[in-house]
Amino acid sequence: MEINRLDRHILNYRNGRDIVQRPRDVMVIDLYPLQIEEVRLRFPAVYQHVLERVKPERDSNREDFRREFWWWFGRRHTDLRNFLKDLPRYISTVETAKHRTFQFLDATIRPDNKLINVGLDDGSVLAVLSSSTHCCWFRANAGKIGVYALESVYVKTRVFDPFPFPLAVDPRLAFGDPLFAQQERLRELGEQLDAFRRDRLAEHTFLTMTGLYNGLERLREIENRCGVPPLTEVEREVHQAGLISVLSELHDEIDRAVLVGYGWEDLIPELVGKPGATMPSPHKTEAQESAEEELLARLVALNLERAAEEKHGVVRWLRPNYQVPMLTTKTPQPTDDHVSILDIELPDNVERPKWPSDGLDQIRLVRDLLAKAPAPTLPDALANVFDGKNTAKRRDRVTEVLETLVATGLARTGEIEGQRRYFLPR
């Protein structure tokens, strides 16, 4: 057993500048959870370094913990260390930045306190977070700083936690599930985006992440005829070295795939390829602003649906193996209610709708019921709403109607906890 593994305690470090510009290759000494005697015995040179360089500052620190455990890198940071334990990488964004971008960081990298870090390593999640859909949600829910409150701050509890991800990012999806192909496409695009930007920065030392996205924004302004001047010589150099047209295409494909994942393809023409996808822009048309308002309204409605689901114990964990053992005792347990999670208050029998005999009326009524449901629901739950006996024949017919709605694009379906449920695009 190797006990003197200094490489486990001398690690790469990233702060906001490293993310929005380019990594500076700064490293940090992280001696947690070693006790001071272990450090002195195993790594005497490191011990002397922190004794001379760190301890004098920590001796005057106002925080008791930092004075007592002066050789550790700040606090224990147990949440961060726990979610990194079984991950090869994680997603990070800067708390305050000009452009809202996300990227993967290796699990060995220690982040600065001004980075917002997500304990997930799935490319499909990176794609959704990198989309104009999530950026629109961010701008509507961001914190504000500065004299004129112009700088938007990514506050995790206000932006990430309540954000309703599309069903395609569910890690439990398996091959054959209707949403699996969507998940694979999002995952592929997320990986492509992360690798593409890394390659550009590695190949050209004058490029920065902010520079890439400045170039992307300028390109979209020009392509959308926003009345802006042509690219300068410096901007053209960034455009060529950064392959900004390729970056733009990647983001367009991500934006389309995310909107398809929600079932909101009708918003694609006014939201994809437009200015202001990663930052505020004065060049948005009335049609784009109207589409963004509609997008926010749908996201809010979906957020309310998810809240109703969770009241019934249906939680869409993004990382079940990690989250469930920690949080399952704090969430309601799934109910065995006969109407499942439809959550429609059933009227008295005399007021319940009768099951129509006409096929077109059946389709209209089932669609109306789906519109009232706060979450994807089972065919049996819908069949139980109608007056009279809930026969197998009726349940089969409701299932047929639901499949018709799916085939015509009026409804969506997906496997949730092994059961096929239906919902309307929102």
DSSP, residue by residue, 338-377: TTTT--PPP--GGGSPPPPSSHHHHHHHHHHHHHH-SS-B
Q: What is the mean pLDDT of residues 370-393?
A: 80
Q: What is the mean pLDDT of residues 15-29?
A: 93
Task: Report which residue type is found at 359.
Answer: G
Structure-model confidence comparison of residues 293 and 414, the more confident one = 293
User: Residue 231 burial by CB count (10 A; 0-12/13-18/19+): exposed, middle or buried?
Assistant: middle
| pLDDT, mean over the chain | 86
Q: How far apart are CA 208 and CA 180, in angstroms?
A: 35
User: pLDDT tens for residues 349-358?
Assistant: 446 788 888 8
Please report, for residues 10, 350, 355, the alpha-carbon distance to residue 388 in angstroms, rounded to integers and kept in the order given: 71, 10, 8
Q: How far apart are CA 332 and CA 319, in angstroms?
A: 18
Distance of CA 52 to the CA centre of its chain: 43
Given a cut of 80, whether residue 426 has pLDDT beyond it is no
Distance of CA 142 to the CA centre of its chain: 15
Taken in order of first residue, the domains within the chain and their CATH numbers are 77-334 (no CATH), 351-426 (1.10.10.10)
User: Quick check: 143 and 155 in contact, CB under 8 A?
Assistant: yes
Structure-model confidence comparison of residues 36 and 306, the more confident one = 36
Measure the CA dihedral 227/296/278/81, to 10°.
170
Q: Any idea what DSSP says for residue 222?
A: H
Nearest to 369 by CA among 339, 389, 392, 349: 339
- Non-local (6+) Cβ contacts of 142 within 8 A are 152, 153, 154, 155, 158, 159
Q: What is the pLDDT of residue 345?
A: 47
Given a cut of 60, whether residue 337 has pLDDT beyond it is no
Local confidence band at 134 (pLDDT 50, 70, 90 cut-offs): very high
User: Quick check: 201 and 207 in contact, CB under 8 A?
Assistant: yes
Structure-model confidence comparison of residues 24 and 404, the more confident one = 24
Measure the CA dihedral 71/113/326/329, to 10°.
120
Q: How far apart are CA 109 and CA 89, in angstroms?
A: 9
Omega before residue 33 within 30° of 0, cis = yes
Q: How far apart are CA 270 and CA 273, in angstroms?
A: 8
Local confidence band at 77 (pLDDT 50, 70, 90 cut-offs): confident
pTM of this structure: 0.76
**How are beta strands 110-111 and 10-14 bridged, if at all?**
parallel
Nearest to 423 by CA among 372, 377, 386: 377
- Percent of the chain clearing pLDDT 90 (strictly above): 54
Q: How far apart are CA 218 and CA 179, in angstroms?
A: 35
Nearest to 369 by CA among 393, 353, 388: 353
Q: How far apart are CA 407 and CA 117, in angstroms?
A: 39
Q: How far apart are CA 262 and CA 406, in angstroms?
A: 14
Sign (positive or negative) of CA dihedral 156, 158, 162, 168 = negative
126: enclosing H helix or E strand:
helix 123-129
Given a cut of 70, whether residue 319 has pLDDT beyond it is yes
User: pLDDT tens for residues 182-209?
Assistant: 999 999 999 999 999 999 999 999 999 9
- Percent of the chain clearing pLDDT 70 (strictly above): 89
User: pLDDT tens for residues 242-281?
Assistant: 999 999 999 999 999 999 999 999 999 999 999 999 999 9
- Non-local (6+) Cβ contacts of 131 within 8 A are 251, 254, 255, 258
Residue identified by tokens 């209610």 is 337
Q: How far apart are CA 151 and CA 71, in angstroms?
A: 35
Please report, for residues 99, 242, 360, the alpha-carbon distance to residue 213 in angstroms, rounded to integers and kept in the order given: 7, 10, 50
Task: Report which residue type is found at 320.
Answer: P
User: Quick check: 122 and 249 in contact, CB under 8 A?
Assistant: no
Q: Where is mean pLDDT largest: 71-85, 100-114, 318-332, 334-348?
A: 100-114
Q: What is the pLDDT of residue 275?
A: 96
